[in-house]
Amino acid sequence: MAQIRRFGVGQTAKVVGVLYALTGVVLVPFVLIAAMYSPNKSGLGPGVALLLPIIYGVAGFILTAIGCAIYNFVAGLVGGIEVELDAPR
C-alpha cells in the first residue's frame, strides 16, 4: 500500500480550478437556456452566465487550496490516505 502524505497546495488547486472553469464552460449553455424560459426575466442574464466559468474556476481554486492545506495538516497527525497502485503494463 502506498500512502498520500501531502498534496502540493498550489499545483493541486491550479489543476482543480481549471477543471472547475471547464465545467463552468460546459454548464453555461444550460444556464442560458434555463434563464430564457424562466418566468422571472429579471434573474440571471447572459453577462452573469458568461462569468460562471471564471467564478467556478476561482471558487474551485480557493476551496481546493483550503482542502489541501487541511488534508496536509490532518495527514501529518494521523497519516495519509492509503492507496494501492498497479505497476504500468
Give the tens place of pLDDT for each residue, 24-66.
999 888 888 887 787 776 656 677 778 889 999 999 999 999 9
Whether 79 contacts 48, CB under 8 Å: no
Rounded distance, CA 60 to CA 22, Å? 11
pLDDT number for residue 47: 76
pTM, whole model, 2 decimals? 0.79
Whether 24 contacts 56, CB under 8 Å: yes
Q: Predicted confidence band at 89 (pLDDT cuts at 50, 70, 90)?
A: confident
pLDDT number for residue 65: 97
pLDDT number for residue 48: 77
